[in-house]
Amino acid sequence: MKKTLEDWLQWQETLHLSEIDLGLVRIGKVAEKLNLLSPSFPIITVAGTNGKGSTVSFLDSMLRAEGYKTGAFTSPHLVNYNERIVLNGLQVEDDVIIQAFAAIDEARQSVKDESGKSIEVSLTYFEFSTLAAMLIYQQHKVDVAILEVGLGGRLDAANLWDASLALITSIGVDHIDWLGDDREIIGVEKSGIMRKNISAICGDLNPPKSIADEAKRLGANLQQINTDFSFSPPKNSSENTFEKHWHLKTNETTLELELPSMPGEFQLNNAATAIVGLLSIKALLPVSINAINTGLKNAQVTGRLQVLSTQPEWLIDVAHNPHAAKQLAKYIHDNPIKGKTYALFSMLRDKDVNEVLNIMNSVIDEWHIVATEGSRGLTLIELEKCFAELNEQHKPNQKQQNSEKTTEQNEHQKALTEVTSYDSFSAACNALKNISKDKDRVVAFGSFLVISEILNNCK
């Protein structure tokens, strides 16, 4: 008997044979049984490798500032499952989710095959959450739902519905086992959220050609950054002072806008993508400049360049692929500290671990690692092997050893050979709290699981 939300979630983890099973047939049958195939509200889908959560937050915050009742569905969660299903800015309560789960469970067991015989449809954990979000949004009569695409796009559960607006934030190499390592092919998968005669916005600064090709094939109204719109960050107006606004230029207008509260210049890219998207559907969901500015200031996402504490600084970021690692490394470089920078790190095995380490090593003084649980998690032995391989690649030759420029390089080379391993995140947190001084920085990154563990074990 499933009574609590935790009971339901544990049961869902055992229901389907595989954690990930891309395809829309099974979820479509259950959605039809729940009368969810034609929702009464417009949908915005957000796909991409990085920036999805932030873009959803910008959209949700701007639309709510205009007075719309919104639903925002994201994944994964960091602390509470309820983070996934947000209704008008608030996480949905356990009992509401449980009621949705019960309705979905009943529906999946009463689907009929072509002969009229009842069959039981198996659903993945993610499919359950997607259906629950849409059922709750339908029941609570939202004005608009914003759905973050989980994996890929074309065959993802969130793509079951025809969206009124499709956003693609970025195209990078991430889920290698499922999507491969070819950006052109990944672009095709992400483009699967586009629809004929519907606005599609791509915020990737160097988009694969497949995005435009697929938009043309599907008949979508594509706008791409640096082709159809662009943004310019604040300029240095005098020594140590910056403008307090940034500018967004489209084919129709130029907007002077408030800076987002979320740190990182890359957030301007996410914000620009969200704003151009809303401008493209202004006939359906008009939003004022005041609401856009309010949304920029109010939008927040846990675990994105988030400072948990100072003296010493604890910085957490969900960066888990090369594209995100470059943004994190840039932020650390552009915001220097006087002390040492410690890394608290782990990653999943379907990620490009070596490239992430290669990018981050130049801004890290000391590495501390923990294994992640589950079949996708890397063991300590596997992580240590990654560091050993990178150390071998970075060994200076005789000419480099005699160069004056190698002092800092040698320090980072040394960091690769003196990696500290821990059996648990709580042990790693306690150790770093003891050795870090007021002017130091601890950077935790590498996976959503890492940030979840930090938020649960390093308070």
CATH code (residue 195): 3.40.1190.10
C-alpha span between 257 and 244 (Å, rounded): 9
Range of the domain at 435: 306-457
253 plus 364 within the same structural domain: no
Q: Are residues 337 and 426 in the same domain?
A: yes
* Measured distance CA(254)–CA(242) in Å, rounded: 20
Residue 200: helix, strand or coil by DSSP? Answer: strand
What pLDDT was estimated at residue 292?
A: 98
Q: Domain check: are 264 and 384 in the same one?
A: no
Q: Are 84 and 133 contacting, i.e. CB atoms less than 8 angstroms apart?
A: yes
CATH number at residue 314: 3.90.190.20
What local confidence, expressed as pLDDT, does residue 66 receive? 98
Per-residue buried b or exposed e for 364-399, using 16+ beta carbons within 10 Å of the residue's own CB? bbbbbbbbbeeebbbeeeebeebbeebbeeeeeeee
Provide the token pair at 402: 């005699």
* DSSP assigned state of 264: S
Does 209 lie in the same domain as 106?
yes
Domain end point (choices 256, 281, 298): 298
Find tokens 């308070």 and name the residue: 459
What is the rounded CA–CA span in Å between residue 141 and residue 69?
8
Q: How far apart are CA 431 and CA 454, in angstroms?
A: 13
Tens-binned pLDDT, residue by residue, of the chain (459 aa): 678 999 999 999 888 655 555 678 999 999 999 999 999 999 999 999 899 999 999 999 999 999 999 999 999 999 999 999 999 999 999 999 999 999 999 999 999 877 778 888 999 999 999 999 999 999 999 999 999 998 778 888 999 999 999 999 988 765 555 455 688 988 999 999 999 999 999 999 999 999 999 999 999 999 999 999 999 999 865 555 567 899 999 999 999 999 999 998 899 999 999 999 999 999 999 999 999 999 999 999 999 999 999 999 999 999 999 989 999 999 999 999 999 999 999 999 888 899 999 999 999 999 999 998 877 889 999 999 999 988 888 666 555 555 555 555 555 556 666 799 999 999 999 999 999 999 999 999 999 999 999 998 876
> What pLDDT score does 154 carry?
84
Which bin fits 305, alpha (ψ -120 to 50), beta or left (φ > 0)?
left
Number of domains the chain contains? 2
> Same domain for 74 and 26?
yes
CB 370 within 8 A of CB 346: yes
CA-to-CA distance for 168 and 46, rounded, in angstroms? 6
- Is residue 286 located within the same domain as residue 312? no
Burial group, residue 10, by CB count within 10 angstroms (0-12, 13-18, 19+): exposed
| Same domain (yes/no): 190, 311 | no
* pTM attached to this predicted model: 0.90
The widest CA-to-CA distance across the chain, in whole angstroms, is 79
Same domain (yes/no): 216, 330: no
Count of positions (residues) in the chain: 459
Residue 127: C-alpha distances to residues 3, 84, 133, 157 (Å): 20, 12, 10, 6
Which are the contacts of 138, defined by CB distance < 8 A and separation ≥ 6?
36, 39, 40, 41
Point out the domain boundary residue: 266, 298, 330.
298
Choose one of 241, 263, 298: the last residue of a domain: 298
Query: Taking phi first (over 0 means left), then psi (-120 to 50 degrees means alpha), and beta for anything else, what does residue 376 get?
Result: alpha
* Same domain for 239 and 220: yes
Q: Are residues 147 and 221 in the same domain?
A: yes
User: What DSSP string runs through 57-123?
Assistant: HHHHHHHHHTT--EEEE----SS-GGGGEEETTEEPPHHHHHHHHHHHHHHHTSEE-TTS-EEPPP-
d(CA 405, CA 403): 5
Beta bridge partner(s), residue 86: 72, 91
pLDDT, position 191:
94
Cβ contact 380:421 at 8 Å = yes
**CB-CB neighbours of 17 under 10 Å:** 8
Looking at the fold, whether 313 and 287 belong to one and the same domain comes out as no
Q: What was the pLDDT predicted at 354?
A: 92
Tell me how far apart the terminal alpha carbons of the chain are, to the nearest angstrom: 34
Dihedral sign computed on CA atoms, order 148, 152, 158, 161: positive
Q: Is residue 239 located within the same domain as residue 350? A: no
